[in-house]
Chain A
């Protein structure tokens, strides 16, 4: 029972980060219908910028966290401006291909920095003691990470639901032509969607970096694990991304907790999400909360 609770707890920790990364992914997809395959690279960049600022420039963690969010805000916005803006109206294939190319470019850039070849880990900012929740334990870093994640998810959802900019973003995702006619600048909204996705990715990266350490391969994998998460939740649903993120975190923890080591299996947590993804695509392709696209000729 203790073991089970421990798995649930760590599943929620991992899942909340998946939720935050899935949120950024969904933001881009929802407003501009672009599948951003380079999301993991932006997450990694956020983590690396946070690290560089806190450890090398000795800026307090909470400030550098926000600075890195600001940097990726402009980074993602310029990515949209330089590469994707000119592809508006092009077939969806070339748009996806461009994000694949982008992923490759960002990979290359990261490999040029020391972060590509060495592993770093953040110094401890929080007490090393663990907290007992019932029989299970959780470290301070994890607890703070989860709290920050949920606060950020709440802020993003609030922004999307209530603020004027958020409402215009939702309008664009609903009907581009209609939103243009009421005076919303659609390209600006695309840029903002990318920028906000970049911010959320950087936040996710900073939190992951604090919890698991900085390894480019692991951070990179977060960009690909986003796919099972958003497909399970529905590609265009923010609530879906959050719920599915936590479900996926739990599934992974249970897989590594109960399946590994049995029947000669190992590392099942890395593969189960993708098997689930294929099964969902076959049987319930729009996920838990996604809208069903109805095509009319």
Chain B
């Protein structure tokens, strides 16, 4: 291995352990630590409006969900057209509890980390159930299974009185050391919670992917018969991939419900599932960094589209429903264009930049 663990010009791995390190060089680790500190510190230094904070919170929540979607679609190669429904399962676990025991019950306001884990667990349970056809079938049918789960979920929420028929179910304000989180600090507080969760989950997934359980996902994606011959159970691995994705989605759902202080069906529709897919594809399927690039890129694009709509409605006849038209149009275009011209997503640009810097001043 290279003697210098700060600057490595090229790869000098001489043992598998070197290759599997979470950070290849000390410099990487230092940059990561600095970046993380910056993310945690900057809201304290600047005055950020609630509106902008909400955008950031949204991006972070989407990141949690996309880490899961990326695991199932990117690493395990199984399309999930119902990811919003899994997020919804998490949110509605919390909402249903809030509806039964009251939205300001001590369990919901004080034990919220436990609640988030509970949402994740419920998501994992549903994920595993929807993944069950994987024991007999290939990805194509699984995509249909997730789609039908999405439809069943939407019906359940929309028609059962238990879930308030899709109307918002409210959830109380949470407590932190030093009392209730006030309206002013609400988005601020959840920024930190979501950021912590994203960091922890990101590291956890990085760790998972270098372990046996993570690599079995990739093996099953690449060739499930070969994986079978090497002693993995392809079907069970797929079910487990869905359960993992469900867990992440469930936690994201719980976060979403706490963040908006309620759960309503409009955040968990088929349209939203497609948005999640767009995020995963734009970020880069099968890469961990893709799970962070995608939501950020799509949310920013979303904001731009909203600005454009505002600008257009001023000069266009008012009877056109531009907002509902332009969003699907741009997301669809983004999905199709990325798939045709850059199937590896933004993460690939990032990789190219990194390898350029890494090898500098040499070209290769």
A154 in the interface (beta carbon within 8 A): no
B96 in the interface (beta carbon within 8 A): no
User: Which of B144, B145, B278 gathers most chain A CB within 10 Å?
Assistant: B144
A130 in the interface (beta carbon within 8 A): no
Shortest A104–chain B CB gap in Å is: 3
Shortest A263–chain B CB gap in Å is: 11
The main secondary structure of chain B at its interface with chain A is helix
A267 in the interface (beta carbon within 8 A): yes
- Interface contact A281-B327, CB-CB below 8 Å: no
B100 in the interface (beta carbon within 8 A): no
- Convert B331-360 into 0s and 1s, putting 1 for each residue whose CB lies closer than 8 angstroms to a CB of A: 111111001100100000000000000000
Shortest A141–chain B CB gap in Å is: 28
B3 in the interface (beta carbon within 8 A): no
| CA–CA, A281 and B140, complex, Å | 11
B223's closest neighbor in chain A, by CB? Answer: A297
B227 in the interface (beta carbon within 8 A): no
B149's closest neighbor in chain A, by CB? Answer: A278
| CA–CA, A225 and B236, complex, Å | 29
A117 in the interface (beta carbon within 8 A): yes
A97 in the interface (beta carbon within 8 A): yes
| CA–CA, A100 and B143, complex, Å | 11
The main secondary structure of chain A at its interface with chain B is helix
B327's closest neighbor in chain A, by CB? Answer: A108
- Interface contact A228-B148, CB-CB below 8 Å: yes
- Interface contact B332-A104, CB-CB below 8 Å: yes
Counting contact residues on chain A (CB < 8 A from B), the size range is 35 or more
- Convert B186-210 into 0s and 1s, putting 1 for each residue whose CB lies closer than 8 angstroms to a CB of A: 0000000000000000000000000
- Interface contact A227-B148, CB-CB below 8 Å: yes
- Interface contact B340-A281, CB-CB below 8 Å: no
- Interface contact B144-A227, CB-CB below 8 Å: yes
Pick from A98, A101, A235, A270: contact of B155, CB below 8 A: A270
B73 in the interface (beta carbon within 8 A): yes
- Interface contact B140-A101, CB-CB below 8 Å: no
| CA–CA, A91 and B278, complex, Å | 17
- Interface contact B144-A100, CB-CB below 8 Å: no
Shortest B329–chain A CB gap in Å is: 3
A291 in the interface (beta carbon within 8 A): no
Pick from A93, A105, A224: contact of B333, CB below 8 A: A105
A266 in the interface (beta carbon within 8 A): yes
A260's closest neighbor in chain B, by CB? Answer: B159
- Interface contact A105-B328, CB-CB below 8 Å: yes
Given A224-B151, A281-B137, A295-B73 contact (CB < 8 Å): no
| Of B16-24, B58-66, B172-180, B317-325, the one touching chain A | B317-325
Shortest B233–chain A CB gap in Å is: 16
B141 in the interface (beta carbon within 8 A): yes
B330 in the interface (beta carbon within 8 A): yes
Contacts of A235 in B (CB 8 A): 140
Contacts of B144 in A (CB 8 A): 35, 227, 231, 277, 281
List 8 contacting pairs A-B, 8 Å CB cutoff, sorted by A: A87-B340, A96-B140, A98-B336, A104-B331, A104-B335, A105-B333, A111-B329, A112-B320
